[in-house]
Structure 1
Amino acid sequence: MSALTVTGLAKSYGRTPVLTGVDLHVPTGTTTALLGPSGCGKTTLLRIVAGFDDPDAGTVELGGRVVSGAGRTVPARRRGIGFVPQEGGLFPHLSVAGNVAFGLPRRLRRDRVRIAGLLALVGLDAALAGRAPHQLSGGQQQRVALARALAPEPSLVLLDEPFSSLDAALREDTRRAVVEALRATGATAVLVTHDQAEALSTADQVAVLRGGTLAQLADPRTLYRDPRDLDVAAFVGEAVVLDGVAAGGRVASELGELVLARPCPDGPVRVLLRPEQLRLTTGPGARVRDVDFYGHDARVELELPSGRRVSARTEGADLPLRGAEVTVTVQGTAVPFPVPPVAPPPVPRAPAAA
């Protein structure tokens, strides 16, 4: 497997820029999730890396070899990249074994032991080898697609939202099987997704794309706990944002005095908390506007005395009733974002003398 390095990548369609100077490094044997809303450039980046599109500027290196840019373009078929599309893309006229063997050298395509091993790698029984793709569930089809991509031992595996068409339970089982298979082979992989939970739970690092640029690249814990800005914070999870005044490493806020997670200049700030940091007890303070019960936990929508609405995530037991009053306390630290000073309005000039 090989490391992937993207430098200064830019791409436009007509007059519409899609990627603008993206730098990204995916270390050997790791999985990176490309996370962002629709239209942010995730799939375009993946297609350029795969060799399906050419960049307007920048380079793509695979294992230290330039495969795109700098006056050189290596065809997709010669890049040694495995690709798993959204719907699996299995050949309907081939059996499961035929699909898995498709990427193997001809001398190995009838090696039943090799094919059975690849199916086992992705959590499938070898008894499925003779079935047609339409006889499989959606999750099984995605696993077969991954087995086909891994069969020729590619330098890099690209996955384009491979779980998006699956229902919640099947998505979770398939995701786990895919992660285990990638780790077992030591594959270098890039996963495109718009699902924050999927990115945080699957990848070694997450690249957040926003408007064609790389907003932040970090491991999942750092991204969630220490986002670069409030836009990133809100995108990778539900955010509780409060106004306050920082002084001496603390901030006075509507939820009391909070300890700051990192140094911050004294003065006006906006601070980030996560809903699971809010603790609720019976008493005056906030009013419960709504409760969404999920079984293992619940989301409680609160209205603070100022009228601001925030959410708390609590255990599923002993939930407050809608309309009840609760006292809100904060566990842990708050991430500060200083508020830039507002420029004073321009002073009107006196009219020139006639």
Structure 2
Amino acid sequence: MSSLTVTDVTKSYGATPVLTGVDLHVPEGSFTALLGPSGCGKTTLLRLVAGFDDPDRGTVDVGGRLVAGPGRSVAARRRHIGFVPQEGGLFPHLSVAGNVAFGLPRRQRRDAGRVASLLELVGLDAALAQRSPHQLSGGQQQRVALARALAPAPSLVLLDEPFSSLDASLREETRQAVADALTAAGATAVLVTHDQAEALSMADQVAVLRGGRLVQLADPRTLYRSPQDLDVATFVGESVVLDADVRAGRAHSALGVLDLERTCPDGPVRVLLRPEQLRLGPSAGAGPRARVRGVDFFGHDARVRLELSSGMAFSARLEGWDLPAVGDDVTVGVLGAALPFPGDAVRSGVGRVPAST
């Protein structure tokens, strides 16, 4: 296993900038997720690390070895990096064993025991070794692709949205198997994804890219609870964003007077709450009133869509066992503190609640 260090990496295609001054460090043996919307540069960064393309500026270092930089470009096949593409990329004319063995050094390709141990590592029965890729489920194909990538014991494993084509239940099962296999192999891994839940649940650290720049690098809990700005906040999870006025260290908003996560000067701000911080009570109770406009039931929990008298819509996330009905009037309470941002913070994609007087 090896660390990965990307320094001031910039890449353009023609006149279109794709990455601008990206700095990223992935510690040895850790799992990092590259998270961002389509077109933000995630896959381009992965390709530069893999050696499929060269940066216009900056350096890529794998385990203390410079593999890309001014006057230096180590071929992809010599970087000792494993790569798992989006669709698995298995060879249809080879068996499972043939696909896995393809990743091994030539002298080890006839070692059936090594192939069996690699299949076991990714949670597959060795009895599948003689099947063709088309005889496997999508999740099994992705695990075979990972086994092939791990076969030569690479210093770094790159995964390019490997679960995006799987259905929800299979995606959860497969990504857990992949995470377990990477941990068992002691591999350093980088995952490209646009799935926030995937990034937060799998990674030791998450790098958020926006417009070709790395805007925040943090562990999942810090990223979710202390996003750098409102754009990051609204991208990494559901959110309720309110206009508010800070007086004596507390925010006065349409959802009441809120405690703040950090000190903030008096004046107009925007504050962030997560839907799971909201609690609903009977309409006769104390607190702001809202009407239930919809309930999205997921079994273990539910999203309750609400509307204030001002017309602003937002959602609360509640346990699934005791829910209001559509049309009910409820009171809204807030658990915990809100996170403040400057009053002129970006408003894209979030509702607005007028500040209370």
Give the TM-score of the pair, scaled to structure 1.
0.95
Letter in structure 2 aligned against 1:244 = A
Q: Which residue matches 1:286?
A: 290
Contact 2:124 2:140 survives alignment (8 Å): yes
Residue 166 (structure 1) aligns with = 166
DSSP-derived class of the 1:113 partner: helix
Hey, what does 2:301 align to over in structure 1?
A: 297
Q: Give the C-alpha shift of residue 158 in structure 1.
A: 0.3
Residue identity in the other structure for 2:45: L
> What per-residue deviation string (whole Å, max 9, x for no partner) do you get for residues 106-162 of structure 1?
221111111111000000000001111111111000000000000100010000000
Query: Helix, strand or coil for the counterpart of 1:40?
Result: coil
Counterpart for residue 26 of structure 1: 26
For 2:235 and 2:281, locate their aligned partners in 1 and report how far apart those are by CA, in whole Å: 29
Kindly indicate whether the alpha-carbon contact (under 8 Å) linking 2:2 and 2:62 is maintained by their aligned counterparts in 1. Answer: yes
CA displacement, residues 213-258 of structure 1 (integer Å, 9 cap, x when unaligned) = 0111110000001000000000000110011111333211111111
**Structure 2 counterpart of 1:222, which letter?**
T
Q: Residue 191 of structure 2 corresponds to which residue in structure 1?
A: 191
SS at match of 2:283: strand
How big is each residue's C-alpha offset from its partner over 1:19-71, in whole Å with a ceiling of 9 and x where there is no partner? Answer: 01111110000111011111100000000000001111111000111100122
- CA RMSD in angstroms comes to 1.1
Alignment length (residue pairs): 341
Q: For residue 350 of structure 1, what is the aligned residue in structure 2?
A: none
Unmatched 5+ stretches in structure 2? 346-357
Whole-angstrom CA distance in 2 between matches of 1:106 and 1:186: 23
The correspondence of residues 143-154 of structure 1 with structure 2, limited to 5 A, is: 143-154=143-154
Corresponding residue number in structure 2 for 1:352:
none
Q: Please say if 1:260 is aligned against 2:260.
A: yes
Q: C-alpha distance in 2, partners of 1:280/1:18? A: 44
Q: Which runs of 4+ in 1 moved over 4 A?
A: none
Contact 1:264–1:338, Cα closer than 8 Å, also in 2? no
Q: Distance between the aligned counterparts of 2:125 and 2:297, measured in 1?
A: 37
Does the 8 A contact of 2:243 with 2:343 survive in 1? Answer: no
1:327 aligned partner: 331
Q: Which amino acid aligns with 1:64?
A: G
Letter in 2 for 1:157: V
Partner Cα distance (2:226, 2:310) in 1: 27
Q: How does 1:84-123 map to 2 (within 5 A)?
A: 84-123=84-123
Name the aligned partner's letter for residue 306 of structure 2: L
CA distance in 2, matches of 1:265, 1:115: 62
2:114 maps to a residue whose letter is: R
Task: Report if the CA contact (8 A) 1:4-1:25 is conserved.
Answer: yes
**Structure-1 residue corresponding to 2:5:** 5
Listed one character per residue, the Cα deviations across residues 65-109 of structure 1 (whole Å, up to 9, x for unaligned) are: 110012200000000000000110011111111111112122211
5+ long unaligned stretches in structure 1 = 342-354
